[in-house]
Amino acid sequence: MRVSVIVLLGLLTCGVVEAQTSTTAQPTSVDILVFPPTGNLSVITPIATRTTVIGTLNTSTGVVTPNGQCGRAPAPPATGPIVNPTQVEFDDVFAPGKKCVAFVPPGLPDGSGYRVVAVATAVTCQPSATGPVVTPCPSVRSQVGVPPFGVVSVRTPPVAPTSLVVLP
């Protein structure tokens, strides 16, 4: 797009300026990072991470098509403490007013007060007009998800003995 402008630098001059357009890269996946209850999230390492694919990039058109993880109605608000969650919900980047879900990493140790953040990743982006193309292209971390949650191992009773025979 070319835009003609008049520049005033002590005298009147005509010039042509290239207008820069900008679009936000659409994510194809979201990483869910789980952190312990305490510590500065910018310096500590997550205790677990899990990636959920939320869209597919059409390489010929450059358009990301959301999959079944997005386009959902918002879940009802949680009541009481959350224990052993399996999913998190976040705003749908493809459809305003809808939600996407991603999966919590499995196998977390028993504990409480876990904190979770999300990082969206696009296939590529170019953060500045003169900078390099970044592949893959992660977003900054989201705010901490609410509420904190706990994990309690579910241990079912042992299987009953079978083929019981009384011996002499």
Per-residue H/E/C for 82-115: EECCCEEEEECCCCCCCEEEEECCCCCCCEEEEE
Residues 6+ positions from 13 with CB-CB distance below 8 Å:
6, 7
Task: Give the pTM.
Answer: 0.76
Residues 6+ positions from 20 with CB-CB distance below 8 Å:
129
pLDDT tens for the chain, 168 residues long, are 323 233 333 333 334 444 455 678 889 999 999 999 999 998 999 999 999 999 888 878 878 888 889 999 999 988 878 999 999 999 998 889 999 999 999 999 999 999 999 999 999 888 888 889 899 999 999 999 988 899 888 766 777 778 787 778
Residues 6+ positions from 100 with CB-CB distance below 8 Å:
30, 54, 66, 69, 70, 71, 72, 89, 90, 91, 92, 93
pLDDT of 91 reads 92
